[in-house]
Amino acid sequence: MKLIKIGGSIITNKNEYLQANFENIKRIAMELSEAKEDFILVHGAGSFGHIKALEYGLDNPTDVLGKEREIARVMHDVLYLNSIILNELINNGIPAISLPPHAIFKPDLDIDVVENLIISGFNPVLYGDGFVWNAKHRIISGDEIIEQLVRSIPIDYVIFATDVDGLFTKDPKVYEDAKFISNIKGGNYDAELLSHDATGSMLGKMKRIENIAKYVSKVLIINGNVPGRIKDALNGKEIKGTVIEA
């Protein structure tokens, strides 16, 4: 079993509210349909989640009170993106079933629901969402969901499909002298990996990835905008990307 996270930046146009990148979604669905082994899919929220989350001050994954209408809007919007993705997966022959995190986090993930789908031959699909517990609410990133999944389900490796080739010493979209990091073992990374969105900086993301790496053989960060890489990563082929091991 593999786990793949499709970042919001490759399935949406990140700066335009509710703009899906249909071209990429269709291509990725086709690549996923060529995976030789089972996989769980987790996708990010992109412009369906982060824009409003920032606007509403829901950009911290901490419990809040009194933003019911705001979080309900964000949760609707990410469910909408999820439904666009599910449609393409099913069109490509993948027996994908959506597990909206807000329905199965209480407050930890109800793993039985996920296992039941796997045992029954389906591909569970989860996504960055919001959830409500004890009258409080907050957003939950796809990465946090993955952290919970790898603890309970035997996963060989986790793939993060992003819009860059992997990790760099600096943001490669801003700095020309950013250097590609091909692998990281035991936390030897440069803390200058920055950029801010609704669920944290690259540094926060790295901490999660390090935690995830403890439960799997490796974590791969690859460029999902390059055709073929998602399929090859899922099928165990060697491709350009950063390999992270605990």
128 interacts with ligand IP8 by CB under 6 A: yes
Member of 11, 25, 32, 45 binding ligand IP8 (CB under 6 A): 45
Give the residue carrying structure tokens 């399935």. 11
Stretch that binds ligand IP8, among 22-30, 138-146, 148-156, 214-222 (CB under 6 A): 138-146
Backbone angles phi, psi at 27, to 5 degrees: -65, -45
Please give the Cα distance from 41 to 2 (Å, whole number): 9
Binding to ligand IP8 by residue 142, rule CB under 6 A? yes
CA distance 142 to 128: 4
In this chain, which of 74, 85, 233, 244 binds ligand IP8, going by CB under 6 A? 74
Q: Which token pair is 22?
A: 């249909």
Smallest gap, in angstroms, from Cβ of residue 203 to ligand IP8? 14
**Do the beta carbons of residue 101 and residue 129 sit within 8 Å?**
yes
Backbone angles phi, psi at 219, to 5 degrees: -115, 135
- E strands of the chain, at which residues? 2-6, 39-43, 96-98, 123-127, 129-133, 136-140, 157-162, 167-168, 180-181, 183-185, 196-197, 200-201, 218-223, 242-245
Residue (48 or 168) nearer to ligand IP8, CB: 48
Single-letter amino acid, residue 161: A
Q: Tokens 């389900």 identify what position? A: 153
Q: What is the smallest separation between the CB atom of 51 and ligand IP8, expressed in angstroms?
A: 9
Q: Out of 24, 44, 98, 102, which residue is the one contacting ligand IP8 (CB under 6 A)?
A: 44
Q: Which of 94, 198, 206, 244 binds ligand IP8 (CB under 6 A)?
A: 198
> Considering the complex, what minimum distance in angstroms separates the CB of residue 223 from ligand IP8?
17
Q: Does 78 bind ligand IP8 (CB under 6 A)?
A: yes
Considering only 49-57, 81-89, 111-119, 223-231, which stretch makes contact with ligand IP8 by CB under 6 A? Answer: 49-57
Binding site for ligand IP8 (CB under 6 A): 8, 44-45, 49-50, 53, 74, 78, 128-130, 139, 141-143, 198-199
